[in-house]
Structure 1
């Protein structure tokens, strides 16, 4: 019991440290554009490069059943070292748009050995209370994702490279925590061979398929919202001729979702995982649809409050979908199933990010954020049937 009590905090801390890589480039995006003379559409390109790397990484990990054939803790550790190295290399003064795209791609690739593997480690330790455990874990992902924005705000008087250096150091520390203090879990079912059929076999389960499709709808909205929070803040400031601390508020709007993930796990224990996930997905979809209204309100306080609420709802269902996926996957391919769903989910984020990026470059209309509602609507349709 004592071991299990310390395992979850260690995984959570490691996940926070390592996922700080995800938006490290976004936090210094304006600096990258200025210092390397990059095109204005760089936000969408570099964000999508990370997503694309994550997708190919999860695809490879799933096909080769890496999470089920090898020690998850070792995979996590080696991935943390690789991600930290490529993140740090982004500070090289001779980088170009091509090299930065490649570096961010490899950061995403190694994140495939961090986020889904972290969930796999948690499922190997916790069967009872899995939803609550994953709530803490995804909460760590959210705060880790937001952290570079806070680091940028706190180091405003330091060189912009300090954000990339700091997140790389954090990532190495996170990897070391897992390597030396988190052994393989007691519920791990190791697979000794590659089963190429498992990539498709997992979707034969109706309940698993419904959970996965709900997750896919959630993912259409999630990373586009996170990527464009600074853009939303700047757009509002431009419309109403005001200013505020964009980096700090970006961190708070994204990071508040971490608390929502934890709270959602507790609520799900009383109200049910599927019901709680559906409620959060519906509310985030409504936020997408009404977002133009809040851009028109000349009150910074109301606009920030709306984005904070959206930041809560947009990710509160994430650990719940991961719980549904894990609970409805066959035990011997659970790690592969989680990785496959992550792979496909993050594939979807590329399309929504690039579409939103294109619309942001071609129009100043605040109605463009309404397209994020497509995901929640389709996700709710997928979840409408009862599980067996």
Structure 2
């Protein structure tokens, strides 16, 4: 105790005042602020967990009330809402009371985390200032003192050395206060309390409050969106089918008109009558051919002993057969020509008549 008093007696008054103002008082204030902030955050976190558990509270904290009011007034959909950003923005405006003063939580938290480093800086600054001043004083003492008087030299050197001890003492006080604040920051960890508070509030907002003010779930929203998309797709499909049916019916109507026009053309033409006439002529030719065959058979029986006559008759028969084949070919040509128009049909009929005339003449000649 006497050593402490002796050390304090060596410290100048202005240095004690600066140590108290710049080191000790900020340390005490930071400890109190840290404790109040930690208790405030823990109270908010406990309240949020109680709300999350469904426990009714007599008074809801202002932060949660402001957050609920902001979300209730928002017109955004659940899928478009960034809950974490809204909670962070509300927390950045959160304040607590200390000795009647309203202080921002984020500002005080940052101040309490920076203050230990600031105290170390003040301590080092005091140390280097004390060393600098004492070195200058020591230099003046050495130059002014008589070297032969040893006792006087020791007394004069003792004072600057004690001043250096005072400088290191102030640095030691700053380091001690900084260490104390660092340890208390670990015990009253406001960062952990903040994370716990924000996670509890986010859980409460997402799972309890928002479903209560917006009862439509994401699944129902998806079903509603799908219903709208399906109605639009059905409408487009109906329009497409209607357009396709209209085009198909127009094509069918056009084909029917074309077919009707062709039928009218066929009805107005003389093609059926000419075809019937050609058929009659062909029947006559067949009858004549049958008669010619009978005549040939009789001629063969009559002239079987006359080889020369039989050869001639055979030649005539072959010629007649060739003519019949020609008639058949002409008949096929007539059928093909019937598909064409009146000019081809008339030429075919003339050829048939000419051939029949020749055949009749030959038969008469026989």
Structure 2-normalised TM-score? 0.22
More helix by percentage:
2
Larger Rg: 2
Task: Work out which structure has the larger RCO, using CA pairs closer than 8 Å and 6 or more positions apart in sequence.
Answer: 1
